[in-house]
Structure 1
Amino acid sequence: MSERISVLKTYKIYIGGSFPRTESGRFYTPTNSKGKSLGNICLSSRKDFRNAVVAARKAFGDWSERTAYNRSQILYRMAEVLEGRKEQFIAELILQDSSAKQAEKEVTVAIDRLVYFAGWCDKYQQIFSSVNPVASSHFNFSAIEPSGVVAIVANQTYSLLGLVSYMAPIIAGGNTCVILASENKPLCSISFAEVLNSSDLPGGVVNILTGKRSELLNQMASHMDVNAMCYANHNWEELIQLKEGAVENLKRIKSYNYELLSSEIENPYLINDFQEVKTTWHPIEVIGAAKASY
């Protein structure tokens, strides 16, 4: 009897709370260091990216107006669901060349990081908002609000943690996002989309694409409805390419070089990096006049 050939799983992309196949019908089959095929992975096209941006923009209004407490609840729920599927993610990381010890640590840190940023949802406003001293007879308040749609180029080394570590602060601050997952280690990204889909997160808040950076970086940088970009890799040529593509619409690009397994990335400044400052002036004389008439 001949040896059975296993059926490779097809990993779809995640757009607007659904799992469509790429519109191009293309896929690729990455392998691990032993030559074992990881799966049939969708090769996302520029049309897929545009569809994801439309979904993210549609979801932005509702998500940005959610209470901080509700956003915190949803992030914590992601951690709960990920905890329940811990063994699956460990197995996928091992398949993608992590040791058992490394895989367990990566999943554990990813869970803890979701809890960490869930805790910041109702606190970062107090840290970064202010009452400003002014020379005129006014109260001057600065408050922060989300930038809008953020495109994320996920870290290529850490399949799960590289996605979670930057997604969590961006959506904790009320933004929506489109993520391009690790090209060579994509398994955990779509499995994590299944976690998102069962965690009360509204469709479109997080959209996850798989595919080649060489095909999508220019589109991500030049798209006029993407407000900011998060680049989590160490390729200087790609970063220059993104900055050149973003010139036309003055898109903000943040580049990070954190060691993801360390606690240095756990800070509220990652939330603040994708916020805009809104300033409000209020005349003091109105209050004084009201008191005088009383």
Structure 2
Amino acid sequence: MSKAESKAGSKAEKRGRSAKDAGTAKAAEVLTDEHGGRPAVLKTYKLFVGGKFPRSESGRVYRVTDPDGTWLANPPLSSRKDARDAVVAARKAFPGWSGATAYNRGQVLYRVAEMLEGRREQFASEVARAEGLSHRRAVEQVETAVDRWVWYAGWADKLAQVVGNANPVAGPYFNLSVPEPTGVVAVFAPAGSSLLGAVSVLAPVIVSGNTAVLVADERTPLPALSLAEVLATSDVPGGVVNVLSGRAGELGPPLAAHRDVNAIDLTGIADTDLATELEREAAENLKRVVRPVRSADGTVAPPADVVGEGDPGTSRMTPFLEIKTVWHPMGV
């Protein structure tokens, strides 16, 4: 490298640091104003794995900004090892969570909604900064997320009655179809819907007894990481939900290829090439795959029942269920 190139690179690096420092200073100034002139204590965001809050094993972080480029935080940049640790925690928690009664799971999930409601202003502030929304619009997003969580909690002890069936058969037998959770599910939060999108892909997975590894949206991960704090202080057992922040392109392949992950939800994957790669990886070990919704022009966008106020029905819960059919002779 020539001296001129080295000098130019040094100047560019200094400009980059100056821009970053300016963004950080701007964020600190805003937070200071909000606290009446007192310097704010900035929040440290961590991963959520096995009911604990580790930093990434790699020690990496990355810069998250609002839509205007103002620095918000440096959350952990999860590694493949973090993804494997999250799968181990989810598998360990699966027997207890799937073995709980449906009524108990409904109670636990409703408790999460209660705590989300109690921290509505905190989440509204985080959503407003992450997505560049007005406070009023951010509150609406948070309220929709809370309502959706309550909606799914209500399905916990009703899903088996709707999805299961008593089948007519020729012969002196009872033939019953009963839904069971499929196991560990990897889910990707959709871009541009920092809290509502995460809730909409996470709740339908765990309501039926599955455990989950949630990969937060890379650009707006902070509300999802704060959701982990709610889960940790509610009645949700450790390991039922594990939350990672970082790049879907880095975390997706090891999760799709992991043989202890039973299903993968690609609804939140907007990159069509990445979605195709993950489908291919999942096919190698016969995972259940929920494919992203593709429009007529081939682009991918999450459906309204994920990022909007549409009624999701049971369609987001049934892909993560196995149907067990039992035969029993009459009169025995």
TM-score, normalised with respect to structure 2: 0.82
Gap change, CA 1:263 and 1:94, over 3 Å in 2? closer
Partner of 1:258: 303
Alpha-carbon deviation of 1:199?
Answer: 1.1
Give the counterpart of 1:243 among 263, 273, 279: 279
Distance across 2 between alignment mates of 1:254 and 1:124: 19
Partner of 2:172: 137
Alpha-carbon deviation of 1:192?
Answer: 0.6
Residue 329 of structure 2 corresponds to residue 283 of structure 1: yes
Partner of 2:209: 174
CA contact (8 A) 1:106 1:261 kept: no
Matched residue SS, 1:145: strand
Residue identity matched to 1:189: A
Could you list the structure 1 runs, at least 4 aligned residues long, displaced by more than 4 angstroms after superposition: none
Residue 87 of structure 2 corresponds to residue 87 of structure 1: no
Alpha-carbon deviation of 1:135?
Answer: 2.5
Once the two structures are superposed, the pairs formed by residues 184-195 of structure 1 within 5 Å of their partners are: 184-195=219-230
CA contact (8 A) 1:17 1:203 kept: yes
Alpha-carbon deviation of 1:129?
Answer: 0.6
1:196-233 per-position Cα deviation (integer Å, ceiling 9, x unaligned): 11111100000000001111111111000000011123
1:40-61 per-position Cα deviation (integer Å, ceiling 9, x unaligned): 1100000000000000000000
Distance across 2 between alignment mates of 1:237 and 1:101: 36
Residue identity matched to 1:238: L
Alpha-carbon deviation of 1:255?
Answer: 2.7
Distance across 2 between alignment mates of 1:33 and 1:279: 51
Partner of 2:242: 207
Partner of 2:86: 52
CA contact (8 A) 2:193 2:307 kept: no
Distance across 2 between alignment mates of 1:144 and 1:111: 26
Matched residue SS, 1:42: coil
Matched residue SS, 1:56: helix
Q: Which runs of 5+ in 2 are unaligned?
A: 1-21, 29-40, 293-301
Partner of 2:151: 116
Higher RCO (CA < 8 A, seq sep 6+): 1
Give the number of equivalent residue pairs.
Answer: 284
TM-score, normalised with respect to structure 1: 0.92
Matched residue SS, 1:279: strand
Distance across 1 between alignment mates of 2:72 and 2:221: 9
Distance across 1 between alignment mates of 2:72 and 2:280: 34
Once the two structures are superposed, the pairs formed by residues 17-56 of structure 1 within 5 Å of their partners are: 17-56=51-90
Distance across 1 between alignment mates of 2:67 and 2:168: 59
Distance across 2 between alignment mates of 1:155 and 1:279: 35
Alpha-carbon deviation of 1:9?
Answer: 2.9
